Structure 1
Amino acid sequence: MRASLLSLVALAVGVAVPAAAQLSRTAQPEPKQGYWWYQAPPPKDDDADPEALAKPRIPPMAELARLTPPKIRKLIEAQRDYAATVLTIDAVADFWRLQDFARRKARAFAGVTQVAMLHHPELSAKSANPMVGDARATMGAEKEQVRRHYLRGQAGQFALVMFSRSSCGYCRVQWPIIERFREETGWQVTLMDIDQRPELATRFGVEITPTTMVIRRGSAQRMVIASGVESYPNLSQTAYQAVRLLLGDIRPEQFLTGAGEEDGFFDALSAGPVSATDPRALGGDLVTSSLEPRP
């Protein structure tokens, strides 16, 4: 009887142990992987040198032709560094082969650009700025006439002030140019010596002489149009643009838009706003703020 009981116990233990072992194996959680489970990055090799010398792979010409300009530039720089390090004939020759490819790529782009300009003349400056001497002279005379007529029409609203010092030799060169401007436009011009009236230098923020400034009568609006000696054509052009800006006829982005160039090739805003500060970019009306004097 006792032997039978021991046999039963042994049998029970023999069956239970494998079952428990099996249960233990199946209860082990599987390692979790995937997007939502963090996996530590592999350890970095501290001995790896990021600037170790490596010969760049130069692809065949057909593959080079499909590379973007930034990738081509990066390949050229890598080959240049490699060639300058090893200083072998083959490495240097490969660098110049890449340079030659980039040169021909640029020339090809220029050729296609020429054809594109012929197909789309509105993208070329030739229609608005002819290169032929006689045509350029005629256009220049027309623009000067427009500027002179416009400035004469504003002679009652604006005046020109030149700030100088008695010790300023450049001021003696600039003043005859200012007088010519008066003769051409009919504006009132004034010479202010800041040695005799130093408070004017502080009030108008004048630091160097000669400084020429456009001032709007009966207003705090003013604008410097020349610091130092300036030629008459440049002075006249800048005064024309300054008056248009102060009157709100143009925005600052159009300051390089010359006489007769409005809504044309050289007008930065002819096709719409080009900056986030332009009210039209926000769906608002075109508003030009006044230029206030510096505190």
Structure 2
Amino acid sequence: MGATSEQQYGFYNDTKHGWFWYENPPLEQEEQANTPLPPIKEPRIIPSLDSYSIDELWNMYPDDFQELLNVLQKKAVQTPSEQSILEYLTMQDIARRKALAYTNATMYVTQKYGELFNVNHVYPTAGPGVTARVSMQNDEIVQTINRAGNDHALIFFVSPGCGFCEKQAGILSYFVDKYGWQIKTVDISRNINSAARFNITITPTLLLIKKGQNNYMPVASGVIAMTELERKLYRAIRLLQGNTREDTFLMYDFQKGSAFDPTSILNKGEQPWKSSD
């Protein structure tokens, strides 16, 4: 009976283990169970041009072609044998020929559909054409500024001790002699409200205003030459008059409807890439 009691007592003591008895498992077993297995590195597959025909390489999608080209380049660097270098240079030659074919086809399409893609008729690059283009631009600028003189004016913001303002004032005197515009000079140190209204922090600054409108357009900050002043003022005038927008800001009137008119293609309603057959 005593032996039986001792056996039972030992049995119950041995079974008092585990989570039910608030006992954590051994730490070493837990670490071993959570240790990740090392990744299995698969063998690298090095391609060969023997698996491709010239037609397949020529018609391969550009991303796939570039990927194959890069792999063959690394293969040639890793193993600079005659075969590996020949394969890489072959890919380079195909890429060069494909680029040449693209260039030729592009020149053909732009010449055939010159009314869509050729800008020479509004922006020629040949000597006589450049002279004519510059003359047309200057005429349009001068006419626009002259017509706007009656209902537009410039505000010239200056500050004490501003040497750049003096230089700009000299340029503006030539402008007034040429166009007869009204220019109002504002000292931002004495007219703080005016400077704050137009957010002027730099002098000299030129601002274009239009009679009867609250809108205005900055023309220039800092010293600006006469020719650049005329160009920027021309664009600002057309914007305040509603004759241009942000996406056609640099365009001249004689370029409307041409390839230099960004949105003119939207008004034609055509799909030139579709066959007319």
Q: TM-score, normalised by structure 1?
A: 0.65
1:206 counterpart SS class: coil
Q: Which residue of 1 aligns with 2:217?
A: 223
- Count of aligned pairs: 228
Q: Which has the larger helix fraction?
A: 2
Question: Which residue among 110, 118, 124 is the counterpart of 1:117?
Answer: 110
Mapped to 1, the partners of 2:189 and 2:88 lie a distance apart of 62
Q: RMSD over aligned Cα, in angstroms?
A: 3.2
Deviations 1:138-186 (A, max 9, x none): 2211221122112111111111223233344443443333333333333
Q: Which residue of 2 aligns with 1:260?
A: 254
1:23-172 to 2 correspondence within 5 Å? 47=39, 55-56=46-47, 58=49, 59-79=52-72, 82=74, 86=78, 88=80, 95=88, 97-122=90-115, 123-172=117-166
Deviations 1:48-90 (A, max 9, x none): 569x86535554432222123333344444555x359737466
Measured after TM superposition, the shift of residue 117 of structure 1 is: 2.3
Distance 1:71 1:180, change over 3 A: farther
Give the residue type in structure 2 aligned to 1:203.
Answer: R
Q: Which residue of 1 aligns with 2:265?
A: 271
Contact 1:148 1:184 in 2 (8 A): no
Measured after TM superposition, the shift of residue 240 of structure 1 is: 1.5
Identity rate of aligned residues, in percent?
Answer: 26
Mapped to 2, the partners of 1:224 and 1:138 lie a distance apart of 30
Measured after TM superposition, the shift of residue 255 of structure 1 is: 0.8
2:243 counterpart SS class: coil
Mapped to 1, the partners of 2:104 and 2:220 lie a distance apart of 41
Mapped to 2, the partners of 1:145 and 1:180 lie a distance apart of 18
More contact order relative to length (CA 8 Å, sep ≥ 6)? 2
Mapped to 1, the partners of 2:228 and 2:76 lie a distance apart of 48
Measured after TM superposition, the shift of residue 94 of structure 1 is: 5.1
Mapped to 1, the partners of 2:178 and 2:119 lie a distance apart of 30
Contact 1:155 1:185 in 2 (8 A): yes
Distance 1:65 1:192, change over 3 A: farther
Mapped to 1, the partners of 2:262 and 2:230 lie a distance apart of 21
Q: Which runs of 5+ in 2 are unaligned?
A: 1-36, 269-277
1:208 counterpart SS class: coil
Measured after TM superposition, the shift of residue 97 of structure 1 is: 4.6
Q: Which runs of 5+ in 1 are unaligned?
A: 1-44, 275-295
Q: Which residue of 1 aligns with 2:274?
A: none
Distance 1:85 1:137, change over 3 A: same
Mapped to 1, the partners of 2:106 and 2:191 lie a distance apart of 58
Distance 1:97 1:217, change over 3 A: farther
